[in-house]
Structures are given as structure tokens and as C-alpha cells.
A and B are shown apart, each in its own frame.
Chain A
Amino acid sequence: AQSVTQLDSHVSVSEGTPVLLRCNYSSSYSPSLFWYVQHPNKGLQLLLKYTSAATLVKGINGFEAEFKKSETSFHLTKPSAHMSDAAEYFCVVSVLNFGNEKLTFGTGTRLTIIP
């Protein structure tokens, strides 16, 4: 079984300060991990993905995430928040089993940027 836990349902940061969105995962197999972003009234967009290559993954819009197997974590960070980063962020774990893949989504973290 696989699961993902987003530790904060809501995070507020000031514009220009660092962003940290936390995610822990659980998986019986070697997982692939993703972060998706959803802006209001929009579909989800892939920010970045980890698929057992480099543990530090760089994504779009200045975001990056580090896979830490010992801590079963995949936290999302950005050095300096921008107003356009305000959105909901989803951590996702994917397991490919006998050719079938299943994406399991976290409950989401709403990021608010304070001007």
C-alpha cells in the first residue's frame, strides 16, 4: 500500500521569503514522487518529479524538492516566494505494479503569499 501525508494544510509566507511545503510518504515499493500545483479554477500542473535518479530535483518556477529515503520525505522548497505562487500544492506518490500505475494524492497544502 502507498500513502502520502502533507503535514500542513495551510502555509503563509511573505513575498520574497523562503517556502517550505512538507510531505512524507509511505510505499511498499520503490516510489516515484511528484509535486503538482493547482491554481484557482484550473487543473493540476506538474511542478517536478523524482524517479530514482538525483535526490535533489529541480522543477519549474524555481521550485525544488529533495528525496530523503531515511526520513521518507519529499519536501518542496523555493528560496523566494512570489505572489504568483499562491495556489494549492499536492504531493503525489506513484507505484508501478505489474504494469499498472496508481497515483495517490496528498490532501493538499494551500500556500498564501503575504504582500
Chain B
Amino acid sequence: KAGVTQTPRYLIKTRGQQVTLSCSPISGHRSVSWYQQTPGQGLQFLFEYFSETQRNKGNFPGRFSGRQFSNSRSEMNVSTLELGDSALYLCASSLTQGSGEAFFGQGTRLTVV
């Protein structure tokens, strides 16, 4: 079966712009989580959605937001981009909440110039 699909794979944006990243989870999976990966901070949890509701949130500013649709697909949005937002953004899907077993997409590499 198809894995987790993230689009686009690569993105270059200018400071001050906004960006939307998309994640399609594995079919049947209802939980989607987002992570930011940078060389300096490692992997940091952004938020988790389950059944279209945000269930958990990491310590990121309000410029980072997300949503989940009825088909479990998820989007995350970053407004007013800063240079420090340059990172690999990873999406992970799980069958249910609390399974702990997440399947990751290949990520979206965002570069802010």
C-alpha cells in the first residue's frame, strides 16, 4: 500500500512569505503528526491531528498552524517566514492515537532566503 506522501519535496521561499505543506497519510490512518528537523535543534514536534482535531501541540509560535481534513489529509502552514524556518518538515501517520508506531514521509525541504 502507498506510504506517506508529502508535497512538495522541495520549496524555496522569501522571508515574510507564507507556505503551505501537504501530507497524505497511509490509507486508513487517522492520526497525522508534523515535525521540524534542523541540524541545530534536531527533530522537534510541531503538532498532531486526529479526526480533524488538533490533539497535541509543540512549542512553536503561532505562525505555525495546521489542519486535517475529513479524508485525514493534513496541511501545515507557516506565515511570515523567517530564515530560521529553513528545515526539513516531516509528516508521520499512525493508525490511531497512542500507537506510537509512526510511518514517516520523505519530508519537505523548505529553504527561506
> Is A90 a contact of B100 with CB atoms below 8 Å?
no
Output the nearest chain B residue to A31 by Cβ-Cβ distance. Answer: B100
Chain B's nearest CB lies how many Å from the CB of A83?
22
> Is B97 a contact of A101 with CB atoms below 8 Å?
yes
A104: chain B residues at CB < 8 Å are: 45
Question: Considering only CB atoms and an 8 Å cut-off, how many residues of chain B contact the other chain?
Answer: 23
**A43, A51, A105: which contacts B100 (Cβ < 8 A)?**
A51
Interface on chain B toward A: helix, strand, loop, or mixed SS?
Answer: strand
Range class of the A interface residue count: 20 to 34
> Is B100 a contact of A99 with CB atoms below 8 Å?
no
Q: Is A67 an interface residue (CB 8 A)?
A: no
Interface on chain A toward B: helix, strand, loop, or mixed SS?
Answer: strand
Q: Is B33 an interface residue (CB 8 A)?
A: yes
Known: A49-B101, A103-B102. A44 touches B90 (CB 8 A): yes
Chain B's nearest CB lies how many Å from the CB of A27?
13
A12: chain B residues at CB < 8 Å are: none
Q: Is B75 an interface residue (CB 8 A)?
A: no
Q: A interface vs B, CB < 8 Å? A: 32, 34, 36, 41-46, 49, 51, 90, 94, 96, 99-108
Extra 14 A-B pairs, beta carbons < 8 Å, given A44-B104, A46-B102, A99-B98: A41-B106, A43-B104, A43-B105, A43-B107, A44-B90, A49-B101, A96-B100, A99-B55, A101-B97, A102-B48, A102-B56, A103-B33, A106-B42, A108-B42
